Chains A and B, each alone.
Chain A
Amino acid sequence: MELDVIQYEIDEEVEKKLISALKNFIARTDADLVILSDDAGRIICFYGKNLDETQAEFLASIISGIFGAAFEMAKMVSKEDLLDAIQYESKKQNVVVKAVGDRFLIGVLCPKNVALGTVRLFLKELAEELNQIFSTVKPKPSKLLKLSPEAIEDKLNKILGAT
């Protein structure tokens, strides 16, 4: 069993390829930020302005949440429709979220002066590129906690101090 309970693990080489694809997308669109996450809100990588890892983690949760909510709505109003992308506008920014395959999502934040058509065009290309990268991802060797259940309990007691 893998250490991480999610079914995939991204190694450094794959991560470099993913970030390079995100960087390229930002350069082409002038978007402020692009986040790649899975549909459970776990961040995979991100690229853009003024965002630390923790903020990105929360944004990934919200992106997966709003996409998931929109997906539920799409199912209710049209059972055969599969949601591919959502977008919304605020006063200063536009946000676009697009599915990449069955499990991943890209969230893009861009200023209002960036044409949404351009964003969506390059987002389509980005999704194809990311799909191609994901198709080459192989499971990493298993890493397990080399601890007995009693030792885990003991360590958690010391860290969290519940008992």
Chain B
Amino acid sequence: MKLKIVYFGASLAGKSTNVKVLYDKLHPKGLTKGDYISMETDENRTLFVEMFLSHFDIDGQTIEAKVLTTPGQFRLHPLRKVIMKGVDGLVFVVDSSQERENINFLVLRETAAVLKEQGFDLYSLPVVVQYNKRDLPDATPIDELQPVCNPWDTEYIEAVAVNGEGVVETFQSIIKKVLIEKACAKK
């Protein structure tokens, strides 16, 4: 089973950090295939995509998850549309700092519009919300972020991706959600 998992969120929210740290954590366990692929600008900002392949067996079936980031900068909107095509599960990486609260919401709205254009409804796709940068002194309290950034009322994870906190938990959560919603035998 091939899955396409996309990490989206505001510019500098920590999408690339999540995906790189996830690769670094899964690779020694033999849960990745091939290298970590990165297409970034000279300033180490994502230009197009960062991705790797994770694979593991579950119940005798091989799960192959292609994990990708979208570029966060506003001007790269057309490229975000391309990456979103055919997505199976989404991770919304939210920047917890107070000054980024509005940006998080704008990205959410823009992503919903992109998916709608492709015939998908953001609110019916498997999504996990990750509140990143929880170590910031000005981190917005979760109960203030929830109404704005988690309209699905879906599972959320608190993270400090740069230290590896919450990174694997987020990935595990989105894989679980996709499998349960899309491939699990309905009772």
**Closest chain A residue to B86, Cβ basis:** A40
B68 at the interface (CB under 8 A from A): yes
Say which one of B7-15, B74-82, B130-138, B143-151 lies at the interface with A: B74-82
A41 at the interface (CB under 8 A from B): yes
B169 to chain A, nearest CB (A): 4
Q: Is B86's CB under 8 angstroms from A6's CB?
A: yes
Q: Is B183's CB under 8 angstroms from A3's CB?
A: yes
Q: A5-B182, A58-B34 are in contact. Are A162 and B85 (CB under 8 A)?
A: no
A42 at the interface (CB under 8 A from B): yes
A132 at the interface (CB under 8 A from B): no
Q: A5-B183, A57-B34, A162-B169 are in contact. Are A40 and B85 (CB under 8 A)?
A: yes
B172 at the interface (CB under 8 A from A): yes
C-alpha spacing A149/B37, complex, angstroms: 32
Q: Is B184's CB under 8 angstroms from A4's CB?
A: no
Q: Is A68's CB under 8 angstroms from B82's CB?
A: yes
Q: Is A144's CB under 8 angstroms from B172's CB?
A: no
Q: A6-B86, A38-B86, A69-B82 are in contact. Are A145 and B34 (CB under 8 A)?
A: no
Q: Is A73's CB under 8 angstroms from B48's CB?
A: no
Q: A54-B34, A65-B48, A149-B184 are in contact. Are A42 and B58 (CB under 8 A)?
A: no
Task: Point out the residues of chain A lying under 8 angstroms from B53, CB to CB.
Answer: 54, 57-58
C-alpha spacing A39/B86, complex, angstroms: 8
Contact with B along A60-88 (1 / 0, CB 8 A): 01001100110111001000000000000
Q: What is the size, in residues, of chain A's interface with B at 8 Å between Cβ atoms? A: 41
C-alpha spacing A106/B49, complex, angstroms: 20
A157 at the interface (CB under 8 A from B): yes
C-alpha spacing A136/B83, complex, angstroms: 29
B88 at the interface (CB under 8 A from A): yes
Q: A54-B33, A65-B48 are in contact. Are A5 and B1 (CB under 8 A)?
A: yes
B87 to chain A, nearest CB (A): 7
B124 at the interface (CB under 8 A from A): no
A39 to chain B, nearest CB (A): 6
Among residues 3 to 55 in chain A, which have CB atoms less than 8 Å away from a CB atom of chain B?
Answer: 3-6, 38-42, 54-55
Selected A-B contacts with CB under 8 Å, 24 pairs: A5-B3, A5-B178, A39-B85, A40-B4, A41-B4, A41-B66, A42-B4, A57-B53, A57-B66, A64-B82, A69-B48, A69-B78, A69-B79, A144-B185, A145-B179, A149-B176, A152-B176, A153-B176, A157-B172, A160-B26, A161-B168, A162-B171, A162-B173, A163-B172
Q: Which residues of A contact B (CB under 8 A)?
A: 1, 3-6, 38-42, 54-55, 57-58, 61, 64-65, 68-69, 71-73, 76, 143-149, 151-153, 155-157, 159-163
9 tightest Cβ-Cβ pairs between the two chains A and B: A40-B86, A68-B82, A54-B34, A72-B78, A162-B172, A162-B169, A162-B168, A144-B185, A149-B180
